[in-house]
Structure 1
């Protein structure tokens, strides 16, 4: 760091900024982004200040996983290369700080241990791209690079994430196997039976019968695909990097194919009653179809939280580090 920057950071504080400087790091630790922005707008030089551990507000934001404050780095331009390399007394730079596991309160903001590990990986990947390349492999006083520190700190989280992912995959795999068994048997016990002379299904010419056949086949293929996907989750190597993309995307695919198999199984079940009771007793298949919708809605209600959390964590969370608009420095429309 050049001497001019060091002078700016360590220069004595004006009396009117004493209170601002004291609350600056408290606001950063608590994640009070709006208050911090207003404070910096009044006293722009506060952005250069460091605490007793030689950490800026951005280091504290990274340490406590406050993305709103961290994203202010995108607004200060090239000056960020003078702030991100700052080291604490233990030679920990910003990447070392994100290598340390977040506090449990911040981890609990994401449901599911595997998704918590994914969020930690997203933070590490983001900060790694932010700091100068020459600082990515620097060692601290313990002789650890940021990635070595990350691996050591997150070893238990990886283990718990593996158990959570395997437990979820195992339970879903059992359901998929049951559906595959049912629809496979249904394919050879079609409604109405077969013609004893030529073996052709009696209702093969009906449109509803074709719907039954197609729905049953899709259910069988979807449930079989779901089994294979969940099996791949169970046999995964569970490396750190797998929690970032591979495992969450497999879980999404498995849940989607399982949902498809349930829907098509229900369709095949309901249509079979239209084939058998299409004359005079139409109210029976209609009533059956109404009740058949219940398990589909129940699956959506029970699995919606998990599915949405995986989608949000895998695809939407990547954009928390890309601010859509400037909030620190803005143009006054009246000027």
Structure 2
């Protein structure tokens, strides 16, 4: 009992303490921010408030600290219009790809309409030009793989494109380039990487799925135990044999569907907009069917061995179940994070969650 409690304190307690320390630090930071904002506001000096809160919001948007921006705007709403040396709060939020900051700034239609007309006079760029540029490395690397990074960039571009004025979509910057031209130029290397990543994953998965098709198809005609003189399978009346037939059928059809989806990716046109929905959808479906086919193949294999050996080795079923779970678990461990990220990024809630107007 003493050893158990010691191990508990060494493993569980430090983790709980770390969480407590993080929450305490966050709470203290929020309280400190509120006190600083309140103290500055009590000075009743517009220039001091403007400079102090403006510099704070400028630093917060670059480091992705939405709590500071929210508190500054709550304390002094006009700070949302803070500009200095080409800095615009909303334009910087788009440039830095800070979706939480973006959601705070565009939480009402009034602010959204006003912010949509902002221009970087030095570069002659509007919001869509900023969204067309490549995200900073520390922000683009939050997604796994070049394809998902390209998808996130398209999501930003489409989001900003939805609220800017129609004339801004074809407006030219000081280099005589429209937002679409800037997007294609800035994302050329990422687009090539995303295309190659999609092809590599699809090609590798197609080989695996094709091997499963071969095994499942052969298994349908080479039944365990063979056939009787009348042509009927020897183990036709056994429940384990039905499990083999069902799992082999699922393996065959799911692996075939997986190959079809991956071939659809390999033969796709690979237009930039396809990375927004079409290609991730095919990749998601292909990986799901590939996982199903692998799991069904392992079940069919285990059922076959159980049928053949159960009269000789009565305890064979339990070890077979454990062994067959190993490759399925390995596939899940290696591929499920990518699959979950694909599903969440493509079908999950949008990262742009504006609050309702009050």
Quote the offset at 1:13 in angstroms: 4.7
2:113 & 2:166 partners in 1: Cα distance? 10
1:320 aligns with 2:342: no
Counterpart position of 2:97: 65
Q: How does 1:1-335 map to 2 (within 5 A)?
A: 13-53=46-86, 55-88=87-120, 89-195=122-228, 197-279=229-311, 281-316=313-348, 318-323=349-354
Q: Secondary structure at the match of 1:242?
A: helix
Q: Distance in 1 between matches of 2:267 and 2:344?
A: 25
Aligned-pair CA distance for 1:324: 5.5
Deviations 1:157-201 (A, max 9, x none): 110001111111111111111111111111111111112x32221
Alpha-carbon distance in 2 for matches of 1:75, 1:285: 59
Task: Determine the C-alpha separation between the residues in 1 that align with 2:267 and 2:240.
Answer: 41
Rate the CA distance shift 1:76–1:56 in 2: closer, same or farther, 3 A. farther
Q: Is the 8 A contact 2:103 2:355 kept in 1?
A: no
Unpaired runs of at least 5, structure 1: 1-11, 330-335
Assess if the C-alpha contact under 8 Å between 1:56 and 1:83 holds in 2.
no
Q: Any idea what the Cα deviations from partners look like across 1:282-316, whole Å, max 9, x if unmatched? A: 21233222211111111111112211121222122
- Cα offset for 1:22? 2.6
CA distance in 2 between counterparts of 1:321 and 1:83 reads: 16
* In 2, Cα distance between equivalents of 1:256 and 1:76: 39
**2-structure distance, mates of 1:107, 1:202:** 59
Query: Counterpart in 1 of 2:29?
Result: none
Post-superposition Cα deviations, 1:33-70, rounded to whole Å, max 9, x if no partner, equal 111111122221111121221x4211100000001111
Q: Structure 2 CA distance, aligned partners of 1:324 and 1:266?
A: 48
Aligned to 2:25: none
User: C-alpha displacement at 1:325, in angstroms?
Assistant: 7.1
Q: Secondary structure at the match of 2:221?
A: coil
Give the superposition deviation at 1:86: 1.4
SS for the counterpart of 1:110 is: coil
SS at match of 2:125: coil
Query: Aligned partners of 1:15 and 1:302: how far apart in 2?
Result: 54
SS in 2 for 1:163: helix
Give unmatched runs, 5+ long, in structure 2. Answer: 1-44
Q: Which has the higher contact order (CA 8 A, sep 6+)?
A: 1
Normalising by structure 2, report the TM-score: 0.83
Query: CA 1:79–1:217 in 2, change beyond 3 Å: closer, same or farther?
Result: closer
Q: Distance in 2 between matches of 1:278 and 1:76?
A: 68
Q: 1:20 to 1:176 in 2, by over 3 A?
A: same
Once residues 167 and 276 of structure 2 are traced to their aligned partners in structure 1, the CA distance between those partners, rounded to angstroms, is 24
Distance 1:310 1:134 in 2: 34
For the Cα contact (< 8 Å) 1:226–1:258, is it kept in 2?
A: yes
1:96 and 1:145 in contact (8 A); partners too: yes
Q: Is the 8 A contact 2:96 2:136 kept in 1?
A: yes
Once the 2 structures are TM-superposed, how far is the Cα of residue 273 of structure 1 from its aligned partner? 2.6
